[in-house]
Every structure is written in C-alpha cells, then in structure tokens.
Chains A and B, each alone.
Chain A
C-alpha cells in the first residue's frame, strides 16, 4: 500500500468524523419537522446506496433487485413484532441475517450470469418476491400491515412524538455503512472486488477467488440494506408489498451512487445529499395532484446527469480538481 493511499484513507476518516459531528448538531438548529423528515430520508437513502455500492459499485455486479432485501428487512421486523412481539432490534438483526443468507443462496446460481443477464435476473427475482408477498395472506397480502403504536421508547423503536430519534438512528446507519465501505476498501476483499470488476478472467488467473468474493459482497450489501428496510418500516409504521419491495426502491438505491460516483467511497452519500432533497422538493412544490410534473423534472435530471457526467459528480469535489481550478495547467489535467 503506497503512502498516498494511506494518507487519503486517513483524511477520509477524519473528514467523515467531522461531517458526522456536524450532521449530529443540525437538528438542534433545524426544528421544522418537514425538513427533519427530509434529513432522515436523505441519510437513509445515503446508507442504502452506500450498501448497494458495495456489491454493484466495488464488485461490479449491477443489481437492480435490492428492493428484495429492503422488503425482507421490513417484513421480518414487522412480522416478528406484530405476530410474536419480538422487539424490532432483534427483527433488524434477523432481517439482516435472512437477507444475507438469501443473497448468498441467490448469488450461487446468479453470479454465473454476465452483464444484462445478471441485471435482469436480479429484477426478476425481486419481482417474484414482490408477487409472493402480494399473495401471502399471513403477511397481510396486498393490504399490508399496520405497525401498532406501543409507546415512545428506544426499546420498541417507536417515537410517535418526535423525528429526532429516527434522525440519529439514520445517521448512525449511514455512518456504519460508510465505515464498512471504508474498512472494506483496504481489505483483501476490497482489492479482490476491484480486480473482479475490472477483469474477472485476469483476476481468476491471478488466484483471486472470484466467486467467494462476490458472495461476500452480496452478503454484506444485503445485510445492510435489510437493516435499512427494517428501519424504514418502523419509520413509516405501515408497510405493504408495493411500498417496500417495488422496483422503484431498487432504482432509488442505485441512483445516488450513480449520481455521485459509482464504486467510490463518497459518491453515494454525495448523491443522496443532492438527490433526495431535490426529489422531496419537486414532489411537494410542483408535484401532487397527479399532474406528473415532478416525474418530468426528476426524469429529465437523471438523463442530464447520467449523460453529462457518467463518472459521477464526485470528481468535482476532489482536492485535485480544486487545485486544478487555480492553475491553467492543472485545469487540463483535471479534464
């Protein structure tokens, strides 16, 4: 490991720590519950996108079926709580473990597929999950499940009176997802993943255990997404198959990473910070009334960004870029 890389990693950790500390104090100044809601969602989608990025960004296995793990997390927690009274904390872990196991079970046949075949397989599998939950009467079928409010406590993970606890949990989740990514980036797995992404055949010939490292990425990614799903279920306190397992969730998880920079440490968080408030604002200002203007703006934005900056916005924020802006020679180098 060269020193520049070690230096960068140390700097990343410090920057993350400062940003997390600043984020933690924001609710002290911003009391508006609409804005707090937006911040919770931003952190949650940032965390989810960060988790998605592990499998799809670092390891290069583009999944558009992560809604399955999101939904499994949400359903496990909710069903355990409403049917057996199991505390959401255990449900969260249970959902994570179930999702990780399922991700590995599905990975076993799916990782043989390449390119679009793999992407379509992930979509199709998530869609099968959605349809099964739609028809599963015990799990509320298409009607969904309402999570009964049993008071205001960390133990039961319910806070009907305030958004603050949700905010801090979402922040913690985002930090964990970021830290796991940071940690994995310099692990044996991290190097394997990048090798697998760049050239699977070459990686195999150099002794990288391609299959196992893909499985590892899938398990970690699914576990974190499931925890995010169970958080979401507690946050909105009502779930139905469409609202936790729909295809749009798979996309929403991928979008911030794509926008910010896929396969990068900061990309997903940056993407979420830009995209989620924008989505919420277009929805509340020009959306509503089923007019579809929010969709037009949102879709137009996706086209524009993906065409204009395929590598993601993250490059705009690098030190090199800033340095480049001040010297004419550097400007060329940045391009």
Chain B
C-alpha cells in the first residue's frame, strides 16, 4: 500500500517540483483512472493488469490537456498566484467530480473477477494479497523507469533543466510550455498507473479521489516538495505508519497517525525529510 501511495505521490511531486504548482485535482485524476479501468474491464473485458498501460497513456494526454487549458493560465497570474493555482485546480476537481456523478451516478462499482482479485500468496508464512503485491512491484518498476527517464533521456534532461531555470532554458530554444505539458502528462500517467492497479481492490465512486488526495499531499510534503525520491520514500513511510496505527487505534482513526507524523516531521524539519533547506 505504501508503495502505491508513493506512486500516486510521485506524480504530484513531479508536477510540483517542475513548476511549483500543487495539483488539487490529483485525487480526481486517480478517480478517472479507476473509472477508465473499470469500463475497459466491463465493456471490453480487458483485465486491469493489461489496461494499466492504456490508462496511463490516456491520463498522459489528459494531464497535458489540463496543463494547456487551465494551468498554463494559472501560472501566469501575477496577483495571488498561490490562491489562483489552488482554486483553479480545485475548481477542476469539483467539475470532474460533478461530471462523473452526472454520467456514472454516485453508485459504488468494483472490478469483479479480475485475474488477480481476491488471491493471496504466502511468503514466509505471511499471507499477502496478490493485487497489492503486484501493485507494489508495478510501483517499484514505474519509479525505476521514471528515474532512468529523468536521468538518461533528452526530454528528462530538458525537464530537469526547466525545473532549475525556466528562463535560461527558453534562451537555448526549449519550449517551456511543451516541457511543462509533458511533465503534467507524465505526472498524470503515473497516477493513471496507480489508479488502474487500485481499481482491482478498491470500490470506485465519484469521491474516491478525495480520500487519497490528502494522503498524497501529506506524502509529498513529508518527503519534501520538489524531491521525487522524497515522495517515494514518503509513500513508504505513510504506508508503514498507516499499518501501525491500524493496529493501535480504531480503524476510523488510522489517518490520524499519518497526519500526526506529517506534523511532527515538518515541525522538526520545515522542508520535509528530503527537501532542500
């Protein structure tokens, strides 16, 4: 679970690190990825495991479009830049929730009889649910892929360079908007991947994103904004804290542990665990 939190959070961290924008519709990105997986399963009988790349690709396009249609203008705002970002992406979240409610009704749905659903495997005497295990593996693979992508490809280098100095990058002929749009697409694709896997073992409904979004922000902030590695580490910590609190406190309070750890960490290190001071 922690690794999946990490995967959700890495997308958010990428966008934040790239251009200092927090996407408050991140949870809704996750939600539509889950719906997409669900419909691919119901109408075309494509197993979530196979549709994951498709969903990630679709979310990539979606993320890039969102950047070009909305975020591009939000970043340009001169007055109250912070509030404009928060409220334009939050408005987007509300619209997305409204649209899903309108088209798909607020009913709970779930992917039944997928290849992996409900199976468990025993590792050294501990029974682990297979979907979560696969999710963790996918998360590790995606993280590795992202790492290579950022460090080894031209586009990755452009991304990193734009992140460091957008003005200078424009001088050497890199289109800032293109890089940012691709960055948003990439961030969204990572969430899409997470959503596809989570569709196997989570109920799908219009508000599902909200419950994960706050945890995603906490995860990113815990690791330190702007640090992709921090987000992944944050995800693992959040997963562990969640499992620990679930043993100590009633289930309805398990998120309190996560929030408390966040507060503790930032009070001691106001820039998160791996953020640059």
Q: Which residues of B contact A116 (CB under 8 A)?
A: 16, 22, 221, 225
* A306 touches which of B74, B206, B218, B271 (Cβ 8 Å): B74
Chain B residue, CB-CB nearest to A315: B79
Chain A residue, CB-CB nearest to B267: A109
Complex: how many Å from CA A311 to CA B256? 36
A258 contacts B88, CB within 8 Å?
no
Q: Which of A5-13, A167-175, A226-234, A294-302 contacts B (4 or more CB under 8 A)?
A: A294-302
Chain A residue, CB-CB nearest to B73: A307
B82 contacts A128, CB within 8 Å?
no
B83 contacts A135, CB within 8 Å?
no
Determine the main DSSP class of B at the interface with A: helix
A128 contacts B102, CB within 8 Å?
no
A120 contacts B218, CB within 8 Å?
yes
A302 contacts B90, CB within 8 Å?
yes
Q: Which residues of B contact A298 (CB under 8 A)?
A: 94, 98
0 or 1 for each of A279-309: is its CB under 8 Å from B? (1 = yes): 0000000000011111111111111101100
- B side interface size, CB within 8 A: 51
Chain A residue, CB-CB nearest to B25: A299
A294 contacts B98, CB within 8 Å?
yes
Complex: how many Å from CA A132 to CA B260? 12
Complex: how many Å from CA A136 to CA B253? 11
Check if A123 is an interface residue, CB within 8 A of chain B: yes
Known: A127-B259, A128-B259. A292 touches B80 (CB 8 A): no
0 or 1 for each of A113-126: is its CB under 8 Å from B? (1 = yes): 11111011101110
Chain B residue, CB-CB nearest to A293: B102
* A295 touches which of B74, B88, B98, B218 (Cβ 8 Å): B98
Chain A residue, CB-CB nearest to B72: A307
* B84 touches which of A128, A132, A307 (Cβ 8 Å): A307
Determine the main DSSP class of A at the interface with B: helix
- A side interface size, CB within 8 A: 46
Known: A117-B225, A124-B214, A295-B95. A131 touches B255 (CB 8 A): yes
Check if A98 is an interface residue, CB within 8 A of chain B: no
Q: Which residues of A contact B253 (CB under 8 A)?
A: 131-132, 135
Check if B250 is an interface residue, CB within 8 A of chain A: yes
B82 contacts A306, CB within 8 Å?
no
Complex: how many Å from CA A120 to CA B26? 14
A117 contacts B270, CB within 8 Å?
yes
**Chain B 231-257 interface residues, beta-carbon cutoff 8 Å to A:** 250, 252-253, 255-256
* B263 touches which of A125, A296, A300 (Cβ 8 Å): A125
Known: A291-B102, A307-B70, A311-B80. A117 touches B221 (CB 8 A): yes
By a beta-carbon cutoff of 8 Å, the part of chain B in contact with chain A is 16, 22, 70, 73-74, 77-84, 86-88, 90-102, 105-106, 206, 214, 217-218, 221, 225, 250, 252-253, 255-256, 259-260, 262-263, 266-267, 270-272
**Can you show 10 pairs from A to B with CB atoms below 8 A apart?**
A109-B263, A112-B270, A135-B250, A135-B253, A254-B83, A295-B98, A299-B91, A302-B88, A306-B83, A307-B88
Closest 6 A-B residue pairs measured CB to CB?
Answer: A295-B98, A292-B101, A299-B94, A302-B91, A299-B95, A303-B91
By a beta-carbon cutoff of 8 Å, the part of chain A in contact with chain B is 62, 64, 109, 112-117, 119-121, 123-125, 127-128, 131-132, 134-135, 251, 254-255, 258, 262, 290-304, 306-307, 310-312
